[in-house]
Amino acid sequence: MNKELVRTIKFTLFSISAGAIELVLFTLLDGFTDWPYWPCYLIALVASVVWNFTLNRNFTFQSANNVPIAMLKVAAFYAVFTPVSTILGNYLAETAKWPGILVTILNMLCNFVLEYLYDRFFVFGKSIDTNSRAKKKDGKNN
């Protein structure tokens, strides 16, 4: 149980850093371009996903699984999450006139919960604690 708590804390901290990247990039694009909500959101989302995947694969889940397969699994998650969050977010920001930053934060919170569960049980589930860092911590040799 202690290992899972540490894993959850790491995921949370890395997600906060990815969220900061997403918010800063979204704010810059939204403030310095005349683009509608959706391209600003998509660019910021992709940057944060790459950051978050890299850190969580190496440090949170300590996975030695096949990177392209893991990335395809994450891409499958975002193949569903991105259109739903983009269409809904664009509606809320452009039609309902909600502040874009509020819509982005709500999307980020949904993403945080759903992605943790997806990564923990599907993307990295069978390969958790298999990379060299995890083996070294457990006192095992490569």
Per-residue pLDDT tens for 41-76?
Answer: 899 989 999 999 999 999 999 998 888 999 999 999
* Entry pTM: 0.79
Which phi and psi (to 5°) does residue 124 adopt? -110, 0
Q: What percentage of the chain carries pLDDT values higher than 90?
A: 73
CA pair distance 21, 54, nearest whole angstrom: 14
pLDDT at 1: 64
2-32 and 37-55 helices, crossing angle to 10°:
150
Low-confidence ranges of the chain (pLDDT < 50): 142
Mean model confidence pLDDT for the chain: 91
